[in-house]
């Protein structure tokens, strides 16, 4: 029996345009919408209507002065906020809609209207800081989503898993001393934004609640699965999240123009299954995915399709299959895995 999976899908997300030739283009979601409208996908998902986030919700993460700065770009033809990040007339509204879409997805999962959900939103968010735009991101969607779950739904343990090619420096910074949020990131390193070293494990109350697995170019499905099963899964099972959030960047895809990884759509489905298993064991399956990067249009649509099918149990990557994938990983990844374990095991004591 399939699970009821929700999707946040709205044509208004195509109205943000970061400029001619920019990789974070409206065509990214255009290709995804075309995939969802194909006969083998149409009608299989519950549509979750987005809404505009309030100033107060955005202010759970961002400074008032920064919110006003982004708001001031509304209606302006083009405003560069950093070398990689710009706005056009409707960007501010679209960014508020991205946050509201994710928050509504979280609400729908918590209320059990759907079993899990994927917020197909843009612009992405995980690089945005308290007072700055960065890396194509205006507001930090997933960080605000986590704060929304904490404030509205009184949750105390949120797991954020970020498999984007680039390290989510904005998300890490927000929760670096906060043990209510366990942030786990796999990312190409060294690469933009330059953060995400193994030694960055949080501080104060959050010590050990920030886990980075920096990777050299060339990591494939098998290495990612081994990392998730050997590091993430045991820590997540001890943390026992109330909700699992995924910052799903699909730029580790093997043909992505901005990256050097070798993950395929099947690999993303396998990672999704591991996190569904965590959610099933810890929080009644409550899992919400939000879109981050991914710039190969065909690969993005194929990968999102594979994740969505997995989420609704249209296919099921079995534990045996995951075990075989883990065993087939290039054992050179074990040195990185061991270094990560050495950093965090004094806190978690699960290895």
49 burial via Cβ count (<10 Å: 0-12, 13-18, 19+): exposed
Distance separating alpha carbons of residues 200 and 171, to the nearest angstrom:
13
Q: What is the CA radius of gyration of the chain?
A: 18
In this structure, are strands 158-162 and 116-119 parallel, antiparallel, or unpaired?
unpaired
Query: Exposure of 85 by Cβ count < 10 A (0-12 exposed, 13-18 middle, 19+ buried)?
Result: buried
Q: Chain-centre distance of CA 119, in angstroms? A: 10
Residues with catalytic function: 127
Measuring CA to CA, which residue among 34, 10, 170 is closest to residue 93? 10
For residue 89, is pLDDT > 90? yes
Domain containing residue 147: 5-348
Using omega within 30 degrees of 0 as the cis cutoff, is the peptide bond preceding 123 cis? yes
Tokens of 31: 């290709």
Q: Which residues contact 114 (CB under 8 A, 6 or more apart)?
A: 4, 5, 6, 46, 48, 108
Residue 129 φ then ψ, to 5°: -100, -175
Q: Does 109 have pLDDT greater than 90?
A: yes
Answer yes or no: is pLDDT of 210 > 90. yes
Q: Is the peptide bond before 222 cis (omega within 30 degrees of 0)?
A: no
What average pLDDT does the chain have?
98
Q: What value does the mean pLDDT take over residues 37-63?
A: 98
pLDDT tens for each residue of 233-254 = 999 999 999 999 999 999 999 9
Q: Could you tell me which residues are beta bridge partners of residue 162? A: 185, 247
Query: What values do phi and psi take at 341, rounded to 5?
Result: -60, -45
Do the beta carbons of residue 6 and residue 117 sit within 8 Å? yes
Which one, of 279, 177, 285, 273, lies nearest residue 221 by Cα? 273
Tokens, residue 12: 């208004």
DSSP three-state, residue 243: strand
> For residue 282, is pLDDT > 90?
yes
User: Residue 275 is encoded by which pair of tokens?
Assistant: 């996190």
- Total domains in the fold of the chain: 1
- Res. 1: pLDDT tops 90: no
Q: Which two tokens stand for residue 254?
A: 């093997």
CATH number, domain of 192, equals 3.40.800.20
Q: What is the mean pLDDT of residues 319-329?
A: 96
Residue 58: pLDDT band (50, 70, 90) is very high
Quote the pLDDT of residue 163: 99
CA distance 170 to 55: 19
pLDDT at 65: 98
């Amino acid at each position: 029996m399939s699970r009821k999976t929700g999707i946040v899908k709205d044509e208004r997300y195509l109205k943000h345009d970061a400029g001619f030739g920019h990789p974070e283009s409206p065509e990214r979601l255009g290709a995804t919408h075309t995939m969802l409208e194909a006969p083998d996908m149409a009608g299989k998902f519950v549509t979750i209507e987005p809404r505009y986030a309030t100033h107060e919700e955005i202010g759970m993460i961002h400074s008032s002065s920064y919110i006003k700065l982004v708001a001031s770009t509304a209606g302006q033809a083009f405003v560069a906020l950093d070398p990689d990040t710009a706005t056009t007339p409707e960007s501010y509204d679209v960014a508020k809609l991205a946050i509201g879409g994710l928050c509504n997805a979280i609400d729908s999962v918590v209320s059990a209207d759907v079993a899990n959900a994927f917020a197909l939103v843009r612009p992405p968010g995980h690089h945005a800081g308290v007072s700055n735009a960065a890396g194509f991101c205006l507001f930090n969607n997933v960080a605000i989503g986590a704060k929304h779950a904490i404030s509205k739904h009184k949750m105390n343990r949120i797991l954020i898993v970020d498999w984007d090619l680039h390290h989510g420096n904005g998300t890490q910074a927000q929760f670096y001393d906060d043990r209510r949020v366990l942030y786990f990131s796999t990312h190409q390193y060294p690469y933009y934004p330059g953060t995400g070293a193994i030694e960055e494990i949080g501080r104060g109350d959050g010590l050990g609640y920030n886990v980075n697995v920096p990777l050299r170019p060339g990591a494939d499905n098998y290495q990612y699965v081994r990392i998730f099963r050997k590091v993430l899964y045991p820590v997540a099972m001890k943390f026992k999240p109330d909700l699992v959030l995924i910052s799903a960047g699909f730029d580790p895809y093997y043909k992505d123009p901005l990256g050097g990884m070798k993950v395929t759509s099947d690999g993303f489905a396998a990672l999704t299954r591991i996190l569904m298993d965590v959610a099933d064991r810890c929080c009644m399956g409550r899992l919400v995915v939000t879109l981050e990067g991914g710039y190969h249009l065909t690969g993005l649509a194929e990968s999102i399709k594979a994740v969505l099918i997995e989420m609704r149990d249209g296919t099921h990557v079995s534990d045996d299959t995951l075990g075989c994938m883990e065993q087939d990983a290039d054992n050179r990844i074990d040195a990185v895995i061991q270094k990560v374990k050495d950093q965090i095991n004094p806190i978690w004591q699960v290895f």
